[in-house]
Amino acid sequence: MSKVEQGVEVDEILRRAAEAGASDIHIVAGHPPVIRVHTVMTPMDLPVVSSEDAEAMVREMTSEGSYQTFQRQHDADFSYAVEGLGRYRVNAHRQRGVPGIALRAIKTTVPPLAQLNLPEVITRLTYLPRGLVLVTGDTGSGKSTTLAAMIQAMNERYQKHIITLEDPIEYALQSNRCLIEQRELGQDMPSFASALKHALRQDPDIVLVGEMRDLETTALAITAAETGHLVLSTLHTTDASQTVERIIDMYPAGQQNQIRAMLANTLQAVISQTLFRRIDAKGMVPAVEILLCTPAVRNLIREGRTFEIPNVIETSRAMGMCSLDSSIAQLYFNGMIGKEDAVAQAAFPDKLEQQLAA
C-alpha cells in the first residue's frame, strides 16, 4: 500500500472512492480529497491533505521518469494500479505552487457495446474494412470506453493485428482472436506521430490513435486510413461538422483543398458523445450525434460546405444518422434524463426546450 509520511494513504482514498462509485478523484493540497460521482463533486470525510502529503503521493505513484517530468514541467500524465482495486489515469500538476492530483478510474473490464446504450449503427462500424472513424466529445464523455468496446467487438470476431497508441493505456485489452499490442506514450513511444509512423511498418490491420492532437499525427492517421487500414481516433470536438472543420483547419491554407479531398475519401463516420446523469437508475447515459459518410456527405466535405452537414444528418435518420439534440430528446422522452440537463447540453437549447414542452 502506498503511504505518505503523515498518515494519509493514497490507496485508502482510492478504496473509499471506489466504494462510493466515483469516476474521478481530486487531491489538492489544502483541501480534503474530493470525488465526482455521476457528475457531482463531493468532499470526502477525510483530513485536509497537506502539501507534503500531496508531494509524497505523486512520488509514490510515479516512475522516476514521470516524477522528473513533473518536477521539470509541473505536469505529468501516467497510469497507476492498485492491486485488487483497479487502474487509474493520473495527472499530477501544480496550482498556486502546491501539488494537485486528478485521477480517473479505469474500468478493468471492457463493457460490451450492447451495454453502453449506444445506437446499433456503431456496432455496424466495427465491420468496416478500412477508413477513419472518429469518436469525439469533451473530456470524460466516454470516448475511450466506446473505442475499447469497438476494439473488443472486433477482437472477438476477426483474426487481425490491432495496435493501440494511448496516453496512457486505459483498458488493458487481452488478445482473443486478434493479436493486440498496446503502446503507452512516454513508456513505449516518444510521441503519437513517431509511433504511428512506425506502426505502419508493423503490419497492422487496425490502429487506434488515442488522440489526433497535432498536424503530424492527423496527417499520418489519414494516410494510414488511405492506405487500407482501419484507423480509430478521438478529437475534443462537440459535433460532426466542427470535427471536420477542426481537421481541415490544422493544415496551412494552401493545403486545405487537398486535405478536404483526402478526408472526403477516407472518413467513414464521426460519433460525438455527451454523457448525462441518469434519473431513472444509477449511472450515466450517452447522447450521441452520428455522421455517416455517404456520397452526399463526401461531396459536402470536398466542396467545403460542411455547414450543410447538420441538415444531412437530420434528413438521413433512416440510414442511422442522428443529431445530438434528437438523441437528447429521445433520452428525455424515455425518462432517462432530466429536462434541465437536457436543455443545458443541447446544441440548440431554445429549439429543444420547445420540443420537450410539446
Q: In order along the chain (358 residues), what is the average pLDDT of each group of 10 residues?
A: 55 95 95 93 95 94 89 91 89 94 89 95 97 94 95 97 91 95 92 95 97 96 97 96 97 96 98 96 95 98 97 96 97 97 96 92
Tell whether 100 is covered by a domain. Answer: yes
CA distance 97 to 68: 17
Domain total of the chain? 2
Tell whether 1 is covered by a domain. Answer: no
Tell whether 3 is covered by a domain. Answer: no
Tell whether 5 is covered by a domain. Answer: no
Question: Considering 106, 133, 156, which residue would you say is the last residue of a domain?
Answer: 106
Question: Considering 106, 124, 146, which residue would you say is the last residue of a domain?
Answer: 106
Tell whether 124 is covered by a domain. Answer: yes
Residues 38 and 173 in one domain: no
Question: Considering 49, 82, 106, which residue would you say is the last residue of a domain?
Answer: 106
Residue 195: which domain range? 113-357
List the grid coordinates of 199. 506502426
What's 78's DSSP letter? E
Q: What are the tens digits of pLDDT across the range 317-353?
A: 999 999 999 999 999 999 999 999 999 999 999 999 9
Residues 167 and 216 in one domain: yes
**Domain with 246 in it: what CATH number?**
3.40.50.300
Indicate if the alpha-carbon torsion angle 115, 173, 58, 236 is positive or negative: negative
Catalogue the long-range contacts made by 255-261 (C-beta closer than 8 Å, 24 or more residues apart). 257/304, 259/222, 260/301, 260/302, 260/303, 260/304, 261/302
List the grid coordinates of 41. 463533486
Q: What are the tens digits of pLDDT across the range 250-296?
A: 999 999 999 999 999 999 999 999 999 999 998 899 999 999 999 99
Specify the pTM: 0.87
Vertex 193 angle, CA 192 and 197, to 5°: 115
**Domain with 21 in it: what CATH number?**
3.30.450.90
Residues 97 and 139 in one domain: no
